[in-house]
Structure 1
Amino acid sequence: MTAYIDVDVRPILRAGGEPFSIIMDAVDRLAPGQGVRLIASFRPVPLLSVMARKGFAHTDRPLDGGDWEVLFSPLAAEDAGQEDAGAGLAFEQWPDPVVTLDNRELDPPEPMVRILAAAEELGPGETLSALLGREPIFLFPELEKRGFRWLGGFTPDGSTYQLSVRAPL
């Protein structure tokens, strides 16, 4: 049976913060076989694919008041590396970006608008790269609706979110 450490990011989200680095710090501290019990004020869809790439399966359920509990359980070694449909191929297999955007200084929703417009101009299988000042959580479902795959994460210092988007083949 998996032992879980609890990570409640609701206070961070209520304060307008980005909890991604806190979650990743918790994941980095896990002992072999341990998982994470995440409590958030929304279903963290973008995080599901990030954790899948890190070797974790998930189960989630809504809680009272609109909050969510997500259990991230380590996959068996032979299952590790399976990708979530939203994340797509492993990053190493993607071609170099044909478009690079620096959206760090733009206010929402402009980064999302620029990325979606640039993505629509990509040829089959082409990629774009974007730098953002925050995690674009509202962009992910829009990309997926349009058939695009994405990979992303914060730089080690937490100041920039790096996003790669790949057009459908």
Structure 2
Amino acid sequence: MTQYIDVDVRPILRAGGEPFSVIMSALENLAPGQGLRLYATFRPIPLFAVMQKKGFAHTEQSLEGGEWEVLFTPAETQSEEHAVAASSFDNWPDPAVTLDNRDLDPPEPMVRILAEADKLGPGETLSALLRREPVFLFPQLEKRGFRWLGGFTSDGTAYELTVRAPS
């Protein structure tokens, strides 16, 4: 099981600083098989591609106040541990609804996910597979009070999203 080193760059960001060098320094100090748990004041989308090139997959979770927790896992262990990493976010229940939206064109995946999410009971989850990261969906989920976590599958062919209804 991957051990994660915590890197909280929120104070740097709040002070107007640039945390990239801190993140890269932490990355260089990881032991083989270790991962990085990053806390940020925003969803660090540009960092995802950098970390992927360095051999790390990611899963992410929005936190209260628009902040984010992102787990960067060495790609060779990510597929084995995806379920473990996902379940570590509050031990979310198995999905009540499973959607495969890979064959749909935008905006249908977003429309379908929002419609099904609105039907969830308190604390229930839904799981969806998509062709791409649903960046326009995230603000809509946030407005409705939903939490989510997601990331690309280890083979990079789909984005796997889990959405949790407010409790």
Q: Does the pair score TM above 0.5?
A: yes
Partner of residue 113, structure 1? 111
Unmatched tracts of structure 2, length 5 or more: 1-18, 48-60, 70-84
| Identical residues among aligned pairs (%) | 61
Offset, 1:4: 1.7
Offset, 1:109: 0.3
Offset, 1:32: 2.0
Secondary structure of the structure 2 residue equivalent to 1:97: coil
Partner of residue 31, structure 1? 28
Unmatched tracts of structure 1, length 5 or more: 7-26, 34-52, 61-67, 71-81
Higher helix share: 2
8 Å CA contact 2:62–2:149 kept in 1: the answer is no
Secondary structure of the structure 1 residue equivalent to 2:27: coil
Partner of residue 99, structure 1? 97
**Which structure 2 residues correspond to residues 144-163 of structure 1 after superposition, within 5 A?**
144-163=142-161
Secondary structure of the structure 1 residue equivalent to 2:142: helix
Which of 41, 63, 77 is residue 84 of structure 1 equivalent to? 63
8 Å CA contact 2:146–2:163 kept in 1: the answer is yes
Deviations, residues 102-161 of structure 1 (Å, cap 9, x unaligned)? 000100000000000000000000000000000000000100110000000001111100
- Kindly indicate whether residue 54 of structure 2 is the aligned counterpart of residue 57 of structure 1: no
Q: Following the alignment from structure 1 to structure 2, what is the Cα–Cα distance between the partners of residues 122 and 59?
A: 28
Q: Following the alignment from structure 2 to structure 1, what is the Cα–Cα distance between the partners of residues 156 and 95?
A: 22
How big is the alpha-carbon RMSD for the aligned residues of Structure 1 and Structure 2?
Answer: 3.6
Q: Following the alignment from structure 1 to structure 2, what is the Cα–Cα distance between the partners of residues 129 and 115?
A: 9
